[in-house]
């Protein structure tokens, strides 16, 4: 099942720097790539440099007015001519999405990096490709949100769709993949699946089991929320119940995964209690499904993960080890044990999960129930 694997990275991606105090620090991607190199995994892949996405490519999912606004905001000379109302409407009035001179250039480079990965897969240069700086899943058509300006994940999905693909997008970031879901919510050719901490407790507050797409896209979005303190065992059990069954029914020709690792118990921005021990299983499952359903075509993106030193490099190294089928080279960076919460919290997690899986199954006409 091996095939050639590409990793898209270059130090130019350090330009995707929102501000000095911001939790999304580009160094996290460099640290992950450094660990992929020092474990020897890079010997089993080829490194591709990123490029900037063109304005036409950004228009694949973003409105021309929005792209124009982002470019103006990134230019100190033009910035002062943009009205506060326009800045507010485009999502740039909050600390989550600060304005900087590098805003357009940095995030267009992230979008281009994910397109380089998509192109490598489409041309056959690589069977699997990883764009760890990508996965900016909260950006909407005409609005920045949750640290995301341009939605590289949606741009890559749309780019692949325009080449005739049926695209399955699976998002395991701790936050709901709301931007990607909304962009494709009436598109029957793009399935979006998001597993995330429930919007009752966490940004962006959306993504419940009944949210399944609209119009012609009804049924092509699936959402599974998790209760706070969900740890490895229930998280993986739910992943195994939901993801393979939905993918097998949809029959995609390419798999795109958003691999945010902010599900970890050390992550400062969310409240799940997973460890890095989910990653070998997640990586292997994505890998197997890509071969089973998509002739191997698998585009993996990064995503959230704000325990920059403690978690992100290890999680993405474990994922990448599965892409190149050398989990042995990464085994020693895995967490040694799962982190189980107190019994009372465990009960709440299982109760909520059983209920949500039944509801999700009813919405999609499949049986996701945990009971035998």
Binding footprint of Zn ion on the chain (CB under 5 A): 1, 3, 173, 175, 260, 262, 304
* Nearest to Zn ion of 11, 288 (CB atom): 288
Least CB distance to Zn ion at residue 361 (A): 25
Give catalytic status of residue 138 as yes or no.
yes
Whether residue 345 contacts residue 236, with contact meaning beta carbons closer than 8 Å, is answered with no
Q: And the tokens for 1?
A: 């099942």
Least CB distance to Zn ion at residue 82 (A): 28
Torsional class of 49: left (φ above 0), alpha (ψ -120 to 50), beta (otherwise): beta
What is the spatial distance between Cα 4 and Cα 78, in angstroms, rounded to a whole number?
Answer: 45
Whether residue 234 contacts residue 276, with contact meaning beta carbons closer than 8 Å, is answered with no
DSSP code of 223? E
Catalytic residue among 138, 140, 196, 287: 138
What is the spatial distance between Cα 175 and Cα 203, in angstroms, rounded to a whole number?
Answer: 7
Q: CB neighbours of 56 closer than 8 A, spacing ≥ 6?
A: none
Least CB distance to Zn ion at residue 19 (A): 18
Least CB distance to Zn ion at residue 327 (A): 13
Least CB distance to Zn ion at residue 305 (A): 7
DSSP code of 253? S
* Nearest to Zn ion of 87, 300 (CB atom): 300
Whether residue 170 contacts residue 220, with contact meaning beta carbons closer than 8 Å, is answered with no
What is the spatial distance between Cα 357 and Cα 349, in angstroms, rounded to a whole number?
Answer: 12
* Nearest to Zn ion of 3, 10 (CB atom): 3
Nearest-10 crossing angle of helices 152-161, 103-123: 30
Supply the DSSP string of 27-44, one letter for each residue: HHHHHHHHHHHHTTGGGG
| C-alpha to C-alpha distances, 344 to 229, 347, 365, nearest whole angstrom | 11, 5, 32
Least CB distance to Zn ion at residue 138 (A): 8
What is the spatial distance between Cα 194 and Cα 171, in angstroms, rounded to a whole number?
Answer: 5
Catalytic positions, please? 138
């Amino acid at each position: 099942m091996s095939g050639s694997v590409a990793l898209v990275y270059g130090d130019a991606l350090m330009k995707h720097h929102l501000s000095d105090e911001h939790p999304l620090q580009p160094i996290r991607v460099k640290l992950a790539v450094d660990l992929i190199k020092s474990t020897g995994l890079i010997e089993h892949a080829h490194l591709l440099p990123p490029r900037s996405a063109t304005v036409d490519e950004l228009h694949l999912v973003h409105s021309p007015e929005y792209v124009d606004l982002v470019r103006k905001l990134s230019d100190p000379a033009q910035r002062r001519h943009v009205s506060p109302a326009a800045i507010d409407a485009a999502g740039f009035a909050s600390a989550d999405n600060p304005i900087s001179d590098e805003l357009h250039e940095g995030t267009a480079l992230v979008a281009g990096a994910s397109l380089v990965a998509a192109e490598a897969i489409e041309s056959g240069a690589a069977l699997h490709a990883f764009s760890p700086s990508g996965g900016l899943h909260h950006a909407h058509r005409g609005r920045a949100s949750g640290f995301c300006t341009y939605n590289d994940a949606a741009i890559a999905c749309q780019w692949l769709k325009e080449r005739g693909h049926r695209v399955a997008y699976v998002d395991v970031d701790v936050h709901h993949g709301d931007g990607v879901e909304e962009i494709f919510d009436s598109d029957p050719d793009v399935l979006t699946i998001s597993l995330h901490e429930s919007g009752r407790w966490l940004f962006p507050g959306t993504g419940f089991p009944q949210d399944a797409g609209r119009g012609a896209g009804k049924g092509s979005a699936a959402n599974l929320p998790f209760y706070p303190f969900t740890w490895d065992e229930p998280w993986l059990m739910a992943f195994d119940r939901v993801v393979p069954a939905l993918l097998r029914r949809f029959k995609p020709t390419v798999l795109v995964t958003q691999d945010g690792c902010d599900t970890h118990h050390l992550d400062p921005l969310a409240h799940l209690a997973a460890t890095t021990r989910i990653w070998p299983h997640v990586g292997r499952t994505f890998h197997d499904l890509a071969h089973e359903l998509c002739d191997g075509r698998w585009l993996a993106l990064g995503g959230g993960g704000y325990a920059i030193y403690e978690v992100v490099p290890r999680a993405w190294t474990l994922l990448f080890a599965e892409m190149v089928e050398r989990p042995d080279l990464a085994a020693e960076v895995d967490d040694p044990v799962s982190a189980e919460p107190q019994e009372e919290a465990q009960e709440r997690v299982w109760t909520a999960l059983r209920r949500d899986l039944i509801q999700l199954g009813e919405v999609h006409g499949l049986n996701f129930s945990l009971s035998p």
